Chains A and B, each alone.
Chain A
Amino acid sequence: MGPEGTCFECGVFPAKLIFPPDYPLSPPKMQFTCEMFHPNIYSDGRVCISILHAPGDDPMGYETSAERWSPVQSVEKILLSVVSMLAEPNDESSANVDAAKMWRDDREQFNKIAERLVRKTLNLPYP
C-alpha cells in the first residue's frame, strides 16, 4: 500500500519476496511485480534498501547508520522499511538514476508518473 499523504497514496503495489536457503541468516530479496518508478527500485522491480543487505555486501555504499539485515530482523520490518522508502526516497544511493534525478529536480513530473502508476494498480483509467 502506498503510504498516505505521499504521491504513492492509495496504490496497491504487488511484490514478491524471495527467501534464500539460509534465511534468516541472509536476507530475502524483494521485487515489485508491477511497474514502478522510484529512486530505490531498479527498472526490473528489484528493491534496493539497506535492510535487505547484510553489512559488508554493499552495492550502494549505504551510510554506516543505515538499518542493516541481521537474523533477528523480520519480514514485517522489511515491509515497514519499504513503505517508508516509498514515502521518502533516498536519492543518495539510487538504483534508478532517472527517477532519482526527477525526484530531485522535477518533483511535479515525478508526482505525475507516480499518480499514473497508482491508477494503473487500481485498474483505473490512466493517461
Chain B
Amino acid sequence: MENHQSEDTHIKPCEYDPNVNQDELIMAQEKQIAEEIKANTSMIGSLQGLGSLAKEYSNDPVYSSKVRTLLPKFSNVRRTRPDGNCFLRGFIFAYLEYCIHHRDELTRFKKYLEGSKEELFEMGFPKFTTEDFHDMFMEVVNDLEGSGSVGRVEAVCNDAGTSDYLVVYLRLLISAHLQKNAEFFSFFIEGGRTVEEFCKQEVEPMYRECDHLHIVALTAAIGVGVRVMYLDRGEGAAVVSHDFPEDKEPIIHLLYRPGHYDILYKA
C-alpha cells in the first residue's frame, strides 16, 4: 500500500500551468542545449583522418558505403561546432588556411575586404556597428599577413570574440550581395518574403543556418570557389558534389550532412 502511494506521487500527469509561458520554457531549453554544444565542441576541431568518419558509420550501410567513395579523394576532416554558424565558420577557417599557403590570395582578399566596408555603408548598413565587425576582420587579416601560420588561424577561429565577429561580417557580405541582386534572388525565396526580409531573418542574425542561397551569394561576393560534398541518404552509391560558383575551380572542400557542414582536405 505504501509502495503504491509513493509511486503515485512520482508519476504526475503533465499538467498545463497557465501561469507559465510555454514559449519561454521552450526557449530556455533550446538555450540549454546550445550551451551544452558550446561546452563540448570546439568551433573548429583538430585535423582528423577520414577514418574517423568511416568509424562513425560502421553500423550504417548507406553512409559507410558512401564514405568509402570519399576515402581515395580526401584524407582528412575537421569538424565544426553545430551552432548554425558551421558553414560560415568552416568556410572562413578553410579560406584563411588556404591564404596562409597562398599569399597572393591573402593580398587579394585584404583588398576586397577594404573596399567592402564602403559598399556596406552605401547599402545602408549602420556605420557605427558595421565598422566594428569590419575592423576586427582587418585586424585578423593584417595579423595573418605578418605572422601567419595554420596554428594562428586555428587560434583565431576558436577565440569566440574574434571568430563570431568574422562570422557576423560574412553574414553582412552575404546580405549585401543578395540585396544588390535582389531582382534575381527574389525568385528563390520562399514564403512570400522580400529579399530584404529574408536577409533580416535568415542571413544577418547569428546562429541562422546557411542554405544554398547564402553559399551562392558568399562565393560570388568574395570570388572563391567552394565544392560541397553531399553525404545523405539520397539514391546512388556516390556522394554528390556541387561547385559554387559552378565555373570556378574550388579551393575549399566542405562535407555536408543534413543540417551540418565540416571541412574536408584533399588527399
- Measuring CB to CB, which residues of chain A are less than 8 angstroms from any residue of chain B? 22, 24-26, 54-60, 64-65, 67-74, 77
Contact = CB atoms under 8 A, between A and B. Distances in A.
B207 A73 contact: no
B24 interface: yes
B236 interface: no
Interface in B63-121: none
A68 B128 contact: no
Chain B contact-residue range equals 20 to 34
Nearest to B129: A72
Interface string B176-202: 000000000000000101000100111
A70 B193 contact: no
A12 to B, nearest CB: 26
Contact of B129 (A22, A58, A71): A71
Nearest to A69: B205
Interface of B: 21, 23-24, 27, 30, 125-126, 128-130, 133, 160, 164, 168, 171-172, 191, 193, 197, 200-202, 204-208
A31 B201 CA distance: 25
B128 A22 contact: no
Contacts, number: 62
B27 A72 contact: no
A45 B97 CA distance: 49
Given A25-B164, A64-B191, A55 B129 contact: no
Q: Which of B130, B172, B191, B207 has the most CB of A within 10 A?
A: B207
B129 A68 contact: no
A64 B197 contact: yes
A9 B164 CA distance: 41
B204 A72 contact: yes
Given A25-B168, A74-B128, A64 B201 contact: yes
Contacts of B204: 70-72
A77 B130 CA distance: 14
Contact of A55 (B125, B168, B201): B201
A67 B205 CA distance: 12
A110 B218 CA distance: 50
Given A59-B27, A64-B191, A72 B206 contact: no
A22 B165 CA distance: 11
Contacts of B206: 25-26, 54, 70-71
Nearest to B169: A71
Given A22-B164, A55-B205, A73 B197 contact: no
25 contacts: A24-B129, A25-B207, A54-B206, A54-B207, A55-B205, A56-B208, A57-B27, A58-B23, A59-B24, A60-B23, A68-B205, A69-B205, A70-B204, A70-B205, A71-B129, A71-B205, A72-B125, A72-B133, A72-B168, A72-B172, A72-B204, A73-B126, A74-B126, A74-B128, A77-B126
A59 B21 contact: yes
Nearest to A73: B129
Contacts of B197: 64-65
B69 to A, nearest CB: 36
Nearest to A71: B168
B37 to A, nearest CB: 14
